[in-house]
């Protein structure tokens, strides 16, 4: 086989045990904390829904380092959404919630960066969210921690500071659809495979960042994710 050009390198996320997790797809859950759903103008009682980002939107950031993203084109309103990221290690379809933990490789702190103005315009017109959500460098992520070390995460503080000021604060126990239920719903619609990442939704307090801001996200047991906007 001769490629027409060299294929893009495999996207990877470093793991806390010194390896690299090869990324296949990035699934994201919309409006999965009640107060965030309400701040976006919804009741918080709708079934889970999903969108995707391309794998190469990932920006891996090592623990203790400050990653960087470029302020993206076309937007005047770049928002942070701090999220628990679940990494799938064993694929499957129609996975029951009770069996979901067996499909999880591990967890990380992630940011679902959003061009809110473009997303809002697409929503208003009933068009896909891609331009608001699936742009380059829109999925920063910290080190992945294996479930064997963390245990199954069902609660724990999730926070985001910008320039040291607290912007978002919640608890994983407040997820409307918990991780197991999310995997159950998601695996009815798509066949999950090893390498898939699931951004599980953000708590209330989403807001804008500008060039020069430094975001610092944290989840109990998963360390911190620090990212500067260039
Ligand atoms: Mn999100």
Q: 199 CA to middle of ligand 1, Å?
A: 7
| Residue 146 forms part of a structural domain | yes
Q: 67 CA to middle of ligand 1, Å?
A: 19
| Residue 145 forms part of a structural domain | yes
Q: 111 CA to middle of ligand 1, Å?
A: 8
* Mean model confidence pLDDT for the chain: 97
Task: Report whether pLDDT(1) > 90.
Answer: no
How far is Cα 127 from Cα 54, in angstroms, rounded to an integer?
18
**Residue 166 sits in which domain range?**
12-229
| Residue 4 forms part of a structural domain | no
Q: 16 CA to middle of ligand 1, Å?
A: 24
State residue 38's pLDDT score.
87
| Residue 2 forms part of a structural domain | no
Q: 133 CA to middle of ligand 1, Å?
A: 9
Q: 125 CA to middle of ligand 1, Å?
A: 20
pLDDT tens for 67-108 read: 999 999 999 999 999 999 999 999 999 999 999 999 999 999
Q: 63 CA to middle of ligand 1, Å?
A: 22
CA–CA distance from 108 to each of 14, 47, 54, 93 (Å)? 10, 24, 18, 23
| Residue 5 forms part of a structural domain | no
Q: 206 CA to middle of ligand 1, Å?
A: 9
Q: 15 CA to middle of ligand 1, Å?
A: 22
| Residue 1 forms part of a structural domain | no
Q: 6 CA to middle of ligand 1, Å?
A: 33
Reported as half-sphere exposure (CB side, CA atoms, 13 A), residue 135 has a value of: 19
Q: Which residues are registered as beta bridge partners of 229?
A: 69
CATH of the domain at 28: 3.90.850.10
Task: Of 68, 67, 62, give the one whose Cα is nearest residue 16.
Answer: 62
pTM equals: 0.97
pLDDT tens for 142-156 read: 999 999 999 999 999
Q: How many domains does the chain have?
A: 1
| Residue 54 forms part of a structural domain | yes
Q: 4 CA to middle of ligand 1, Å?
A: 36
What's the length of the chain?
A: 230
Q: 114 CA to middle of ligand 1, Å?
A: 8
């Amino acid at each position: 086989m001769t490629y027409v050009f060299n294929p893009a390198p495999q996207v990877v996320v470093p793991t806390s045990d010194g390896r690299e997790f090869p990324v296949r797809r990035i699934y994201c859950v919309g409006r999965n904390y009640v107060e965030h759903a309400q701040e976006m103008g919804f009741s918080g009682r709708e079934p889970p829904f999903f969108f995707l980002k391309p794998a190469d939107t990932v920006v891996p950031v090592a623990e203790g380092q400050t990653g960087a993203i470029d302020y993206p084109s076309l937007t005047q309103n770049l928002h942070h959404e701090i999220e628990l990221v679940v990494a799938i290690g064993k694929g499957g379809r129609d996975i029951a919630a009770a069996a979901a933990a067996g499909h999880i490789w591990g967890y990380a702190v992630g940011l679902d960066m959003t061009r809110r103005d473009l997303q809002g315009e697409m929503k208003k017109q009933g068009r896909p969210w891609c331009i608001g959500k699936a742009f380059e460098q829109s999925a920063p992520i910290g080190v992945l921690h294996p479930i064997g070390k963390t245990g199954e995460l069902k609660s724990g503080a999730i926070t985001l500071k910008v320039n040291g000021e607290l912007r978002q604060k919640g608890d994983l126990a407040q997820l409307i659809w918990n991780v197991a239920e999310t995997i159950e719903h998601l695996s009815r619609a798509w066949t999950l495979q090893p390498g898939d990442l699931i951004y599980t939704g953000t708590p209330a307090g989403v807001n804008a960042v500008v060039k020069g801001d430094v975001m610092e996200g944290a989840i109990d047991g998963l360390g911190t994710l620090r990212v500067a906007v260039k």
